[in-house]
Amino acid sequence: MNTLDPYPVFVDCYGDLATRFSSDMSKIVPNLQVFFEKPVSEDILIERLQGRKNALVYMSYISSRVLKECPELKTISYLSTGLETHGDLEVAKEMGVRFEGVKGYGDRAVAEHAIALAFAAIKRLNEMDRAVRSGNWGLIKTEEIQSKTIGIIGLGGIGLETAKISNALGARTIGWSRSRPHTDIPIELLTLDQVLSQSDIISLHLSLTKETTGFIDSNALKKTKPGLILINTARAGIIDESALISYLNSGHIGHCALDVFHQEPVLMSNPLTEMKNVTLTPHSAWLTSQAIDRLLIAGLNLLKRHIAETSNV
């Protein structure tokens, strides 16, 4: 690679994104160089970024070393929200590298996944599946979701989309947000303590920040209803995992459904993998064909804007 090459680069268009990346999408950013293989080391990532002003990134972590060895970089267009987990933002700021992500692409996909996990828990689908596979045909009683109160903590795009589906199912929908959302979706806005104490099902949709790390801790969990169904499709760090495991073991949390983990892939030594009252999915809530297309198009348009804004820099 010529380190003076000015062309923008997509450093890691692999997996499902590579399958969905189309010729029409490539026209959004002319002269874009696309790497369809995951960079297997930081050295390869640096090689792909050196000499570039503008880059599009899917999952690669942009560390302080990467930033310092690629001093020509001016912008990183990231195919994600929650940028704190995807790069060294402090060093990027110090070096004048604009780090910007895309939003909204997975709102519906994640909301549907959260509600699917709620159904899996309340209808005891995992338990039924295990029983039938083991030859046990005993009937298993379940509940109806429309008779329940669904509490949504975090009312950004995904939280509000979850509220929309919850309302359509006939559930009582309550919610709490750190900032009052602007929406026409019917939802009872309550205090955090009220949402914790009144909900039969709680779905978490907070971004991970210093203020929300460990937000759902023992103090919060003790305020919840016995038998609570807890769903997290946001970020693992929102929940104090040791407190969660304790409340699952005690039975106070009836079921927990998680799409995100403190370490990914989740370790088989993690107690959550052995618990029968836990449903686990592999950080795939957002991964639908429709969401991937929206993500790619939004990311390419963000990169296009970045290129225009830095053309004279």
Residues assigned a catalytic role: 235, 264, 283
174 residue type, one letter: I
DSSP string, 111-149: HHHHHHHHHHHHTTHHHHHHHHHTT---------GGGSE
Cα distances from 44 to residues 47, 117, 186, 206, 285, in angstroms, run 5, 38, 49, 33, 29
Residue 219: helix, strand or coil by DSSP? helix
Backbone angles phi, psi at 258, to 5 degrees: -125, 135
Does residue 279 contact residue 127 with C-beta atoms inside 8 Å? no
301 residue type, one letter: N
Does residue 115 contact residue 162 with C-beta atoms inside 8 Å? yes
Structure token digits, residue 255: 């079921």
By residue count, the chain amounts to 313
Q: Which helix (H) or strand (E) holds 150?
A: strand 149-153
- Give me the long-range contacts of 137-145 (CB less than 8 A, separation at least 24): 145/118, 145/119, 145/169, 145/170, 145/171, 145/201
101 residue type, one letter: G
Backbone angles phi, psi at 130, to 5 degrees: -65, -40
